[in-house]
Amino acid sequence: MDFPVIYLNSNDGSGMLAFGSGPELVQKKSDLNEVQQFINAHAGSYLFGWINYDLKNEIHGLSSANNDHLEIPEVFLWKPDHVVKLYKEHYEFLQGKKDEQSFNFLNDFIEEETDVNFHPYPINYKSRISKDEYLKHVQDLKSHIQRGDIYEVNFCQEFYAENIELDYLLDAYFKLNDITKAPFSSFVHYNEFSVLCGSPERFIKKEGSKILSQPIKGTAPRHADPVIDHVVREELRNDPKEQAENVMIVDLVRNDLARIAEPNSVNVDELFGIYTFNTVHQMISTISCTEKANTSFTDVLRATFPMGSMTGAPKRSAMELIEKHESFKRGLYSGSIGYITPNGDFDWNVVIRSLLYNRNKKYLSCAVGSAITIASDPEKEYEECLFKVERILSGMNQ
């Protein structure tokens, strides 16, 4: 593929496929004023792209010094030549013309999606830190919580592989998607960068004047035995530790949204909802508001990014501790992939449960994290990280 491609896959039979050349904004270091200028210049068109976690540095006046092995730009926005809405066997060109070239690409893409004869990807991943190092960091973070520096922090670690040739990117993505079947799944390819994303989490959505966010906090593994699986699901629903993690982030998101909301319009639509996916059960809450008039996309980002589920609370203090204790630069992991519609609506995910790849460096990364609270058991947090990624990493190898 010699042009950008982004596929947003809801795994309910629908999706949005953007491809082809077109005006681009690529920022190695973010500038939100320039981002808004690009959006304004292409008002009335579909725009697709990603936002790197390190946009936090501009928004919150922070810095990042950890090693960046992927070197994915902080911001990528693009007006694709073609945008196609997919629904089961139907498709509609929303942007660009259906001609021989675009139809052939679309047809090849759909054929790849329906081909389940996946290649194996026998990759040996290394952990960036040892288990003992992980446990020590969690204990240190709990000490900060004990002192009142923070209430909760999302601490992440990286599994990675070097000298990797991913020759069948679409095949690899659809294999990952077959494992996860997540509602905010996505495939991204741009120059040497590729993202195979199996995310179950929405960051933020705008439809008309309504904005909503759906943070995930609370995870339990799936089990093959349906009886055990049901028990685990109900234990998650009623677990006071998981509820405490979730409600702290709900409060953070409520405060974030209040900055751009009409007075008294912030609402918790669902608290502690339990949703089941292929690999895990998740606790998800939904918070919404009516946005103030003349609120821009970058106004929303300044108020809400990074998403609280990937930082902790208070957000700034949590991010400072994340930078101190994590051993890698998150980059696009815990950032967001999404799109903006011609009328200014948008929908963006949270980049988790993902494989991130730099073809030039032959570097493949899969990061994972969990929420650390005062009630956290370091051993169990480590186990949670493992079961979040185990199905992905082992499934891709088969």
pLDDT at 144: 98
DSSP per residue, 57-97: HHHHT----S--SS---SEEEE--SEEEEEETTEEEEEES-
Other Cβ atoms less than 10 A from the Cβ of 380: the count is: 12
Average pLDDT over every residue of 82-101? 95
Please report the pLDDT score of residue 360 as a whole number: 98
Report pLDDT for 44.
Answer: 97
Confidence label for 286 from pLDDT (cuts 50, 70 and 90): very high
Do 92 and 72 form a contact (C-beta atoms < 8 A)? no
pLDDT in tens, 236-265: 999 999 999 999 999 999 999 999 999 999
With the C-alpha atoms ordered 100, 103, 105, 110, is the resulting torsion angle positive or negative? Answer: negative
Give the pLDDT confidence score for residue 1 in this predicted structure.
Answer: 75
Question: Between the CA of residue 348 and those of 205, 211, 283, 345, what are the distances in Å?
Answer: 6, 11, 19, 11
Instruction: Say what the pLDDT of residue 159 is.
Output: 98
Q: What percent of the chain has pLDDT over 90?
A: 97
Q: What confidence category does residue 116 fall into, taking pLDDT thresholds of 50, 70 and 90?
A: confident
Give the active site residue among 74, 113, 158, 201.
201
The whole-number average pLDDT for the span 68-94 is 96
What pLDDT is recorded for position 2? 87
Mind listing the pLDDT tens digit for each residue in 313-341? 999 999 999 999 999 999 999 999 999 99
Q: Does pLDDT of 91 surpass 90?
A: yes
Domains of the chain plus CATH, in order, are: 5-397 (3.60.120.10)
The residue from 217, 315, 329, 388 that is catalytic is 217
Give the pLDDT of residue 123: 95
Q: Is 201 an annotated catalytic residue? A: yes
Mean pLDDT of 131-158: 97
Model confidence pLDDT, tens digit, residues 366-391: 999 999 999 999 999 999 999 999 98
**Mean pLDDT for all residues in the chain:** 96
Is 292 known to be catalytic? Answer: no
Residue 372 is predicted with a pLDDT of: 96
Confidence band for 88, pLDDT divided at 50, 70 and 90: confident
Look at strands 75-78 and 24-27 and give their pairing: antiparallel
